[in-house]
Structure 1
Amino acid sequence: MDTQHNGKRANIAKALLIALIPAISLIAALMFLIHYQKEYEIADNEYEQVADDYAKETSDIGSYIKVLAQENPGAKDSLDEKMHDATEGNLKKVDFLSLINENSDVTAWITVPFCSINYPVVQGPDNDKYLKTTYQGTANSAGAIFMDYTNNRSFNDMHTLVYGHNMKNNSMFGGLKKIRDNPEAAKEDPYFYIYLPDGHMRQYEIFSARVIHADDPCYRFFDGMDEYHRFVNECLSGSKSKWNVNSDLSSGLPIVTLSTCSGDNDRFVVHGILHAIY
């Protein structure tokens, strides 16, 4: 009798456990969601404060001098007219002295107006340091916007890679989804800007946007015009949309690739060629 009674108890306990599994799974999922929402909030607050403190909007066009002209025929327009068209409402005055004082890994500041991207750029000793660490050193899944550890901080390499997470709330490089999902609208403002500690702002014109595999040869560095032209052709042939580019894609001017995740093994990349330096 005791054996039979104990068996019934065991069966009841087992049934209760099975019944509770969905509830336990739901609670675990909710806790996971709350955790990541909290992380999003912490990272967003940190980067919003950094932007407010160190990358203030300015209308002082006269503080920038165009230095790239002869090398780029497309940059020979009037300084005032060009700066007004390209940077109206987006021009920044970046306090690099304070940024670098907080973190010597800071190399630049990037803005992609169409995607509402506005962040410091760092460079670590490898490409792992800032995957889950913010610019201020906080452990956070949002990480930081970082350039490849092998690239020159001057952004003068033929190809520079800049990485950022594709956050669900569109922070970090999550905003690049706007280009992926609506490339035609992005063509109305096809520029992004990189500010450097030397006081110059580099303007890049987007000429390609595409989804690639994580091991795509896009993630390579090169010297020489043959490889440069091969790379440009790869970017153009794989682009989700055809861009009407004003810059000379055969010029050999530096290219910057912005890279973010687009699924488990895919990446979404946006390629921009140096259009002007101010």
Structure 2
Amino acid sequence: MFFYLYPNLLYQNNTLISAFCPESGAEYLLNCRKGKIWYFPAQKAGNPLHCADEKVYNEINVTISFVILYTSYIIHHNRGIIMKKWIRIIIPVCAVMVLIVACINLGSIFMEYNRGVQEYKNLQEYVKEEHPQIPARPEEEDDFLVPEIDFEALKARNGDFRYWLYIPALEVNYPVVQGADNEIYLYRTFEGETNSAGCIFLDAGNSPDLTDRNTVIYGHNMKNHSMFGSLKEFLQNEELAEESPYFYLYTEERAVRYRIVSYYTTVSGSDTYQSVYTDEEYDGYLKMTLQKSQYNGYQEEFTEGRPDMVTLSTCHGKAGGTGRFVVHGVVDEIREWE
């Protein structure tokens, strides 16, 4: 990620410059006046839900941009003048110091990322590839994926543990928790550590037994593709959901396979996140999701009988914005543990 610096207005001893990040769309206004620098967002920040790591990168790059800007400012206002010796020394010294601080901050981010990745990798030790207690169907080739999961051990580590989520197409393989509200696990991992990766979590308003008509599960859109950071690959590769159209939720009682029927971009607070109770509401909700959908593999037979739905949600677009990307799946098959 990097910033473009370009002048907006030059007048007297004031220099107003925009710093624009083309990757995230973030824009800042930097005002130089009498040797001092102020900066402020060019527009009011939106809901920061699931965009924490983007904001950290922006802060580091804005800091580096300040160094470049301040150096340019000094040179601009001293053209044609032999700069004093102390000025020639202090400018590069300050630049190096700020760069060192930025590098330290960046290093701490990567260390935090690695701690989160390692924690969830360790949790996968409680999940084995195949569970012998659910028999395969003898009459046909069986592609229903059923791992062996130590639910007791996972609940012992975190009493908020509800399910295990697996998306084969993306290798998303995480525990799902549910807090008393939707803020608890934004920046708290499964083991209770503070981390920008947070945890995959079930909406606090949903029933934990998957009996709601629409169950919503949230996860951060991480830059290293952990958590729900890889969910956007469905948008980037249209064939991905065609080749592997299922995801799974494993509970203590059963294994549930969901068939992807829709995915699209939306905004926080949209109708996507409304509650669904009656058949009429279900039909209206399904119609809405299909109208917005960017997935072309839907068939009417997938939703015959109004199967319960799960919505996977993560942030999308510029840092701090209200953009969201969601994937809808409906119950395709349920197998009880024996």
Preserved CA contact (<8 Å) 1:258 1:271: yes
Q: Does the 8 A contact of 2:259 with 2:302 survive in 1?
A: no
Name the counterpart of 2:10: none
- 1:55 equivalent in structure 2: 127
User: Which structure has more strand as a fraction of its residues?
Assistant: 2
Shift of 1:175: 1.8
Deviation readout 1:59-118 (Å, 9 max, x if unpaired): 53xx227xxxxxxxxxxxx8346672242xxx3111111111111100000000001100
Using a 3 Å threshold, how does the CA distance of structure 1 residues 214 and 58 change in structure 2: closer, same or farther?
Answer: same
Indicate if the aligned counterparts of 2:266 and 2:326 stay in contact, CA closer than 8 A: yes
Unpaired runs of at least 5, structure 2: 1-80
Q: CA deviation at 1:16?
A: 4.3
1:195 equivalent in alignment to 2:250: yes
Q: Which of 105, 109, 112 pairs up with 1:32?
A: 105
Asked if 1:135 is matched to 2:157, the reply is: no
Partner SS state of residue 276, structure 1: strand
Confirm whether residue 41 of structure 1 aligns to residue 114 of structure 2. yes
1:253 is displaced (CA, Å) by: 1.6
**Are the structure 2 counterparts of residues 239 and 82 from structure 1 closer, same or farther at C-alpha, using a change threshold of 3 Å?**
farther
2:225 equivalent to 1:170: yes
1:103 aligns with 2:158: yes
Q: Does 1:85 align with 2:143?
A: yes
- Residue in structure 1 matching 2:315, options 237, 261, 269: 261
Cα distance per residue 1:214-242 (max 9 Å; x no partner): 22221121211111111111111111221
Q: Is the 8 A contact 2:241 2:260 kept in 1?
A: no
Q: Would the alpha carbon gap of residues 260 and 17 (structure 1) be closer, same or farther in structure 2, given more than 3 Å must change?
A: farther
For 2:331, the equivalent position in structure 1 comes to 274
The answer to which structure has the higher helix fraction is 1
Please report how far the alpha carbon of residue 22 of structure 1 lies from its aligned counterpart in structure 2 after TM superposition: 4.4
Q: Deviations over 1:172-227 (max 9, x none)?
A: 111212212112222111000000022x0010000001111122221121211111
**Secondary structure class of the residue paired with 2:273:** coil
1:236-255 equivalent positions in 2, closer than 5 A? 236-245=290-299, 247-255=301-309
Unaligned runs of 5+ in 1: 1-7, 66-77
- The higher relative CO (CA closer than 8 Å, separation ≥ 6) is in 1
Q: Which has the larger radius of gyration?
A: 2
Amino acid at match of 2:323: D
Distance 2:234 2:290 in 1: 15
Q: What secondary structure does 2:258 align onto?
A: strand
Cα 1:18/1:117, change in 2 over 3 Å: same
Shift of 1:15: 5.2
Amino acid at match of 1:269: V
Instruction: Give the CA deviation at 1:12.
Output: 4.7
Partner secondary structure for residue 243 of structure 2: coil
Q: Which residue, out of 205, 215, 220, partners 2:269?
A: 215
For the structure 1 residues 82 and 169, does the alpha-carbon distance in structure 2 shift closer, same or farther, using more than 3 Å as the test? farther
TM-score (norm 1): 0.83
Contact 1:236 1:242 in 2 (8 A): no
SS where residue 294 of structure 2 aligns?
A: coil
Q: Is the 8 A contact 2:263 2:295 kept in 1?
A: yes
User: Across the two proteins, how many residue pairs are aligned to each other?
Assistant: 251
Task: Determine helix, strand or coil for the equivalent of 1:165.
Answer: coil
Q: How far apart, in 2, do the equivalents of 1:17 and 1:83 lie?
A: 72
Letter in 2 for 1:35: S
Equivalent position SS for 1:248: helix
